[in-house]
């Protein structure tokens, strides 16, 4: 399945978007969380019009 990952700035606004492929939401969540960096406090994961997750980058427990 195809997902969209949005990197968010500290104000919660989208900085960039990236397409990823994953077989399930759980795999997509892990891949999205791996896109975190020092300048990204959170990422949003979407599949089409469905928001799958809002993932804080400081949270190490993603499942």
Residues 19-52: tens digit of each pLDDT: 999 999 999 999 999 999 999 999 999 999 999 9
- Identify the three-state secondary structure at position 25: helix
- Identify the three-state secondary structure at position 10: coil
**Whether the model pTM is above 0.85:** yes
- CA distances (Å), 56 to each of 1, 23, 31, in order? 23, 22, 13
- Specify the pLDDT at position 63: 54
Instruction: Read off the pLDDT band of 18 (50, 70, 90).
Output: very high
First vs last C-alpha separation in the chain? 17
């Amino acid at each position: 399945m195809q997902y969209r990952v949005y990197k968010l700035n500290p104000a919660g606004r989208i900085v960039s978007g990236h397409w990823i492929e994953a077989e399930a939401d759980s795999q997509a969540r892990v891949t999205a969380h791996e896109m975190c960096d020092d300048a990204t406090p959170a990422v949003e994961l979407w599949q089409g019009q469905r928001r799958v997750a809002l993932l804080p980058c400081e949270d190490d427990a993603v499942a």
